[in-house]
A and B are shown apart, each in its own frame.
Chain A
Amino acid sequence: MLALNAPPGQDPVRQPFVHYRCHCNHANSHSSKSGNASEGAGTTPSAEPGTGTGTGSGQGSDNRDAMNIDDASKSQPASPTQEQPSSQTETSDTTRPSSALVLAGQQPGEASSSFQPQNETDKALYSSGNHSDTHGSIPLSRLYFCDSCDELRCPKCVQDEIVCYYCPHCLFDAPTASVKTEKHKCSRNCFYCPLCQATLSVVSEDPDATLYQSNPTDNAQYYLLCNMCLWNSQDIGVTFDKPLSLTAQLQKDDEALPDVREFARLKDHFEKYFRSTKSSLPSYLASPSYSTGYSSTSRYLSSVTSTLSSHRTQQADDIAHYTPAVQVMESTENLEKLMSIVSIKETTTMKQRLMALQSQSYSPQRLQPQRIHLRIKKLRRCRSCRHILVKPDQKGNSFGFKINLIALNQLPNITIVSIQRPMIVQTASQVILRFTNPRHEEAHVSLQYGDGASPSHGVAIRSPSFSISPFNEVWEYEVGTIAAPPGATMEDVYERTANSTCIALDITPAVAGEVK
């Protein structure tokens, strides 16, 4: 198979997107490095050492540009806003929340460019959804733009609400009312393989039977089969009479288990004591959609504490003693089995065990197929003004958006067109940046050096102020570069195409290093 001969895992394609820093007050755990303070981080778009290995922390400002070059896809300090006062250079990234944005003659918000560190993908596995790099900068692809506040919004300053639940396998919308009772799992025929966590398919023993046969024959037995590791449910003795609503059939077996019955008995026993007081679970917690974020959790907390305290005082002695119906013996059978295994393949891996938290069996023969967890469609709101930034389609199978206010449509994207190689220390080499304007109006961009107005650290910006033509759909159909529209002032730009402008920067590396 080609996959086996594949070259060793290379770095996945990194999104070539400029990173912006959001002005929200949500402190990023990554940005607490000491390097931040020394670089004058935060709003100053100075050359920040990008890699998370801490090459930049503590180093003097002289080497900043050298390290800037060390990291690929990093664009030079581009501070399009001139409104930022210089006093902000010392502050960390939790600055005041306003980024001055002027709509007409669109000056985009704070742009601090840095590089996504090498181990970003590893981090993504452990901190899912956290796409910021070590300095709290987030790629443009993940940012939103609130048009009523005129500000950038990072994923942390948006509030998520759940629109609907759907199963990632059958793509059916789960009715919101039954989501809680079904424990947020698909209630149809979707299961994970207990060994390899691929999805299982329902097959019939009878090779001529189809899945959706209207009148299944009596002796047609259906079972689950994993297409990846070829595990099938016949090995653990789980077969079905009908190919549909398998979870209901499995649930009946589940209910016969002694621990599930014991739990049901416990619940009945204690429920009558709690039912007498008025405090049942708050209704808004039972339904998955919250209208207000923080206020509901605070209300819930206060109601829970009041419930507990009232119970303790009134009914502590009212609860009768409960005798369990099943006596659990200390079983040494498991221990003996574990002591006698020869190879590691005879036990389950941690991942397999943790898929079934109730049983967590040690032997692979006792692993059961697990139902598939539901995924959600999220509605994203700006935290300050409560406007909706992203609103997905409510209708079941379509995954479009009714409202989608992404920053990509507002802020210019900065990409590196070319870097003159080889880069030699103390010699100027040219880096060409392209600014792409997504809006229908012309954009004016001004570049600033990191530490003020003077050209510093070997970076020379040839065109400190330029404009980018607006985006025009008609030009999409024309291949090739378009000449500058008439009437545009000729600044010293490298190249001007349909809705993007390239500028050249001369960089003189101070220190030899690796150019990625």
Chain B
Amino acid sequence: MELPVVHYSKSEYIETDTGNKVSRKSVICGSQNIVLGGKTILQTGSVIRGDLKRSGASNFVVVSAGRYCFLSQSCIIRPPCKAHKGAFNYFPVKIGDYVFIGESSIVQAAQIGSCVSIGKNCVIGKFTIIKDCVRIEDNTVIPPNSIIPPFSVYRGSPGKMVDELPESIREIYEARCKDRYTKFVPSVDA
């Protein structure tokens, strides 16, 4: 079946001129440190902690997301932190294009590539590096400091590779994310 058309109430979402649709009910901390590529959707209840940044440094981007990203309801993007040489620091999170993050997932990765699909209720540990074209199935727990190679499917706790994605997956995910964006329309009676 195709993806269903998702309606949202116009009053709930802010649409920017680059096409980002951000829910007013999402928790965005430190929005001046967050960069969203165009046409990204942040659904109700999603949390982006842009306030957790490296102490002392001014004006750099803590969380950057690419185009056509989709952060589902109640998902959490939290910069990873480390105690290092006596100093406790947060590190920036870089998310690529065409990334889909499922509901209630907690993402503390340091870097997520493009064309990545993360399922529901996932826990991505700190300082994980997820390369391009990866699918992380629902309810997966990825331990901290792991590196997920491209074209793999991870499942389980700890997440292990279970399948390999075809070479066409980049086109598939790009088309799917664009389709998801076009099907996210305001409800007519809002």
Contact = CB atoms under 8 A, between A and B. Distances in A.
Given A73-B1, A141-B172, A399-B131, A2 B121 contact: yes
Nearest to B176: A16
A171 B121 contact: no
Interface stretch (B9-17, B48-56, B161-169): B161-169
Given A169-B147, A208-B85, A399-B132, A404 B121 contact: no
Interface stretch (B25-33, B59-67, B89-97, B134-142): B134-142
A124 B163 contact: yes
Given A2-B121, A6-B139, A9-B139, A170 B162 contact: no
B168 A10 contact: no
The secondary structure that dominates the B interface is: loop
B120 interface: yes
B145 to A, nearest CB: 5
Interface string B138-153: 1101011111011110
B160 interface: yes
A446 to B, nearest CB: 23
Contacts of A196: 158
A415 B125 contact: no
A170 B147 contact: yes
Nearest to A390: B167
A3 B146 CA distance: 18
Contacts of A409: 171
Nearest to A1: B123
Nearest to B163: A124
Interface string A116-136: 000000001100110000000
Nearest to B169: A141
A439 B85 CA distance: 56
A12 B138 contact: yes
B166 A406 contact: yes
B104 interface: yes
B45 to A, nearest CB: 12
29 contacts: A2-B121, A2-B123, A3-B139, A6-B120, A7-B121, A9-B139, A10-B138, A12-B155, A128-B163, A141-B168, A168-B147, A168-B149, A168-B161, A170-B147, A171-B131, A198-B146, A201-B145, A210-B85, A226-B143, A227-B144, A227-B145, A228-B143, A228-B158, A375-B149, A404-B167, A408-B168, A409-B171, A416-B1, A417-B2
A473 interface: no
Chain B CB within 10 Å — which of A10, A227, A408 has the most? Answer: A227
B78 to A, nearest CB: 13
A2 B104 contact: yes
A10 B158 CA distance: 18
The secondary structure that dominates the A interface is: loop
B122 interface: yes
Contact of B141 (A3, A128, A199, A207): A3
B123 A125 contact: no
Contact of B167 (A16, A210, A401, A417): A401
Interface size class of A (residues with CB under 8 A): 35 or more
Contacts of B131: 171, 399
Interface in A1-56: 1-3, 6-7, 9-10, 12-13, 15-16
Contacts of B162: 124-125
Given A12-B137, A168-B149, A2 B106 contact: yes
B97 to A, nearest CB: 14
Contacts of B146: 198-199, 227
Nearest to A6: B121
Nearest to A196: B158
B178 interface: yes
Contacts of A383: none
Contacts of A9: 138-139
A170 B119 CA distance: 24
Contact of B133 (A128, A198, A399): A399
B2 A16 contact: yes
A72 interface: yes
B178 A199 contact: no
B18 interface: no
Interface in B77-132: 83-86, 104, 106, 119-123, 125, 131-132
A3 B156 CA distance: 11
Interface string A217-230: 00000000011110
A235 interface: no
Contacts of A199: 143, 145-147
Nearest to A392: B167
B158 A408 contact: no
A409 B167 CA distance: 12
Contacts of B1: 16, 72-73, 415-416, 419
A123 to B, nearest CB: 11
A129 B147 contact: no
Given A16-B1, A228-B143, A399-B150, A3 B157 contact: yes
A169 B128 CA distance: 11
A416 B161 CA distance: 30
A434 interface: yes
Contacts of A208: 85-86
A476 interface: yes
A287 B86 CA distance: 49
A415 B158 CA distance: 34
Contacts of A201: 145
A197 B146 CA distance: 12
A9 B125 CA distance: 20
B147 A171 contact: yes
A128 B160 CA distance: 14
Contact of B143 (A7, A198, A406): A198
Interface in A361-414: 375, 390, 399, 401, 404, 406-409
Chain B CB within 10 Å — which of A129, A171, A226, A476 has the most? Answer: A171
Given A409-B171, A479-B182, 6 more contacts: A2-B106, A3-B139, A3-B141, A12-B137, A128-B164, A228-B141
Interface in A181-236: 196-199, 201, 207-208, 210, 226-229
A444 interface: no
B44 to A, nearest CB: 16
